[in-house]
Amino acid sequence: MMLQLSEMLLLAAAAIVAGGVANALADDLPAGRRLGRPRYADGRVRPMWAWLGLSAFVLDRFPSRLMKTTQPAAEGGSDQSRLGLRYPLTELVTAALALIFYSTTRHLIGGALSMWLSLAYAMLYTLIGVVDIERRRIPAVTLLPLAALALLDAAYITETGPNLGSAIAGGLSGFLIFYLAFAGGMLFAAAMKRLQKRTLGSSALGFGDVMLMSVAGMIVGFPGILAAICVTILAAAAGAVAIIVRHYAIEGTYSGFARMPYGPYILFGAIVVQLLRSQLTAPMLGV
């Protein structure tokens, strides 16, 4: 019991650091920068005590001689010299996901391997989710490591997920189903522009969402991808209703066909099936 507790505390600490890396990558990758020392929004390099979002968020709000940086603040106001909630939340979500994954896989594949897998999945999930929420896109450079991890997991560790054949079938199925939805959205946007002279911009789904669903299929396999798609659609519908209600409550109106980030909902669907794969896929297999 004490050993398991110590492992979980170690994993939580490592996951918070991994969340800090995810924060830095979410800042640098979409901007085309190489990963470097974390910075504030005004461009100043963060001091070492502020490299993690949790420490920076808390300590930035308490004046201290220790916490003064040597670089003068850039023009743009004090808000740009402090970190927002995204940074500590990313680290906390990464830690929570890692602990959840670890608690469900430790007894199947052993503590050390489970810790590394849980850490990798949690960091990549939060990285992709943060980038999509903030930038409304999912760069391929964030998807490739997750796809490689899913295929290696399927090839060598079948106790916690699909085998390699199922993972490949899930990836192809996820791509095909979401590509059809993507193409349908593009056709709908073109029809609206032609018939009503109304420009919708693009499909509600982006091609990055299609690729992410394909990677989700590699993670959960087939027929797990079918359950993941169902969970994704239900979660996205609930999210859309919440957005509409919020707009009406705050602004008194809502513009239809507004685009929202779909990546977090895809990730949520994958996580749910990853954790409950046997319960969700058994009815599909007639078990």
Helix (H) or strand (E) holding 166: helix 164-196
Q: 218-252 pLDDT, tens per residue?
A: 999 999 999 999 999 999 999 988 888 877 777 76
H and E: helices and strands count for the chain: 10, 0
- Cβ atoms of 8 and 99 within 8 Å: the answer is yes
The answer on pLDDT for 270 being more than 50 is yes
pLDDT of residue 233: 95
Residue 287: band (very low, low, confident or very high) from pLDDT cuts 50, 70, 90: very low
Asked if residue 206 has pLDDT above 80, the reply is yes
CB 209 within 8 A of CB 266: yes
Q: How confident is the model at residue 285 (pLDDT cuts 50, 70, 90)?
A: low
- Going from the C-alpha of 23 to that of each of 16, 28, 131, 260, the distances in angstroms are 10, 9, 9, 21
Task: Assess whether the previous peptide bond of 261 is cis (omega < 30° from 0).
Answer: no
Which has more pLDDT, 162 or 285?
A: 162
Q: What is the per-residue pLDDT for 76?
A: 44
State the pLDDT at residue 281. Answer: 64
Residue among 81, 115, 112 nearest 95 (CA): 115
- Over residues 252-272, the mean pLDDT reads 82
pLDDT in tens, 28-86: 888 778 887 888 777 788 888 888 988 888 877 665 544 554 444 444 444 555 778 89
Q: Residue 147 above 90 pLDDT? A: yes
Q: What is the pLDDT of residue 245?
A: 84
Q: Nearest to residue 278, comparing CAs of 220, 218, 215, 233?
A: 220
pLDDT, the chain, mean? 84
pLDDT (0 to 100) of residue 283 = 63
More confident residue, 148 or 57: 148
CB 39 within 8 A of CB 57: no
Alpha helix positions (H), 32-163? 53-59, 86-109, 111-135, 140-156
pTM: 0.87
Stronger pLDDT, 212 or 259, i.e. the higher one: 212
Which region among 9-18, 125-134, 154-163, 206-215 has the lowest average model confidence (pLDDT)? Answer: 154-163
